[in-house]
Every structure is written in structure tokens, then in C-alpha cells.
């Protein structure tokens, strides 16, 4: 005899139409109307709203402030890695200079990755929206 979970899964597969279902605390399935797109805040249309990732979270526009905050998190980690991996006869000033040089590459690269991801997700969301319309 299959368990309740397996039976529910089979029942969902046998449905002819796709339905949105919410389970109650008692384990009963309640059919819900199809969720509609939320109206954008501040009167913006859905076309101008910021892109969302697959989880539905809003992707913020890339900013230098966010990149600097990320750099502040990674700077001590980079410094520790440089101290652990450099030669023992290297001076402390040289190790710090190496870490600062690495951070000088990290900041613009991190910003570039943010911009590319934001643009990619924006384009993908725009294409999906155009296919639906």
C-alpha cells in the first residue's frame, strides 16, 4: 500500500489540467486560482520593473556601494590567503601590497560581473515577457 505522500504525488500526475494547489494543515489540497503578476509598486509597469531570478527575488541594479561592501568582506580573506601562501622571507609590506593589488583587480571585476548578470537577467526576462504577449 503506497504512503499518503506517494498517493498525492500520483494524483497530481494524473490531473489533466495544471492546478495551483495549497495543502492545509490537515493534509487536504485546496485548489487556488492561478496567481497573477503583482502590480508593480510606484505605478511602474511590469516592463520597467527590475529583473527577478528563478526564485522570484528581485535582482538589484549594480552599484559601487554594494561592490565596496563585498570587497570589505573579502579583503581580510584575501589578506589571510596572501599571508599563508607567500614565502617566509617576504616582508609584511610586500604581502600587504600584494593583497591591495589583488583587491584593485577584484573591485572592477566584481562590478563587471554584477553588470553582466543584471543585463543578462533583464534580457531574459524581457524575452519571456515578449513571448507571453
> Same domain, yes or no, for 92 and 116?
yes
pLDDT digits (tens, 9 = 90+) for 56-73: 778 888 999 999 999 999
> Same domain, yes or no, for 18 and 47?
no
Between 12 and 113, where is the model more confident?
Answer: 113
Is residue 101 over pLDDT 90? yes
Per-residue pLDDT, averaged over 16-31, amounts to 70
Between 92 and 53, where is the model more confident?
Answer: 92
Q: What pLDDT shows up at residue 64?
A: 93
Range of the structural domain that residue 49 is part of: 41-132
Are the C-beta atoms of 81 and 74 separated by less than 8 Å? Answer: no
Is residue 46 over pLDDT 60? no
> Same domain, yes or no, for 64 and 22?
no
Question: Which residues sit opposite 58 in a β-bridge?
Answer: 52
Q: What pLDDT shows up at residue 96?
A: 93
User: Which class for 99: exposed (0-12), middle (13-18), buried (19 or more C-beta within 10 A)?
Assistant: buried
Q: Is 81 left (phi over 0), alpha (psi -120 to 50) or beta?
A: alpha
> Same domain, yes or no, for 19 and 66?
no
> Same domain, yes or no, for 16 and 60?
no
Is residue 45 over pLDDT 60? no
Least trusted range by pLDDT, from 39-43, 51-55, 62-66:
39-43
Q: Spell 39-74 as b/e; 16+ CB within 10 A means b.
A: eeeeeeeeeebebeeeeeeebeebeeeebeeebeee
Percent of the chain clearing pLDDT 90 (strictly above): 38
- What is the domain count for the chain? 2
Average pLDDT, the chain: 81
The C-alpha cell of 128 is what? 519571456
Amino acid at each position: 500500500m503506497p504512503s499518503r505522500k506517494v498517493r498525492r504525488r500520483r494524483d497530481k500526475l494524473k490531473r489533466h489540467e495544471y492546478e495551483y494547489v495549497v495543502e492545509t494543515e490537515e493534509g487536504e489540497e485546496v485548489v487556488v486560482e492561478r496567481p497573477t503578476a503583482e502590480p508593480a509598486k510606484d505605478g511602474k509597469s511590469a516592463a520597467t520593473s527590475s529583473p527577478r531570478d528563478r526564485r522570484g527575488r528581485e535582482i538589484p541594479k549594480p552599484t559601487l556601494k554594494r561592490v565596496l561592501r563585498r570587497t570589505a568582506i573579502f579583503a581580510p580573506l584575501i589578506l589571510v590567503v596572501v599571508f599563508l601562501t607567500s614565502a617566509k622571507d617576504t616582508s609584511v609590506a610586500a604581502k600587504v601590497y600584494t593583497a591591495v593589488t589583488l583587491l584593485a583587480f577584484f573591485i572592477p571585476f566584481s562590478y563587471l560581473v554584477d553588470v553582466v548578470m543584471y543585463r543578462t537577467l533583464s534580457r531574459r526576462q524581457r524575452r519571456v515577457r515578449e513571448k507571453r504577449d
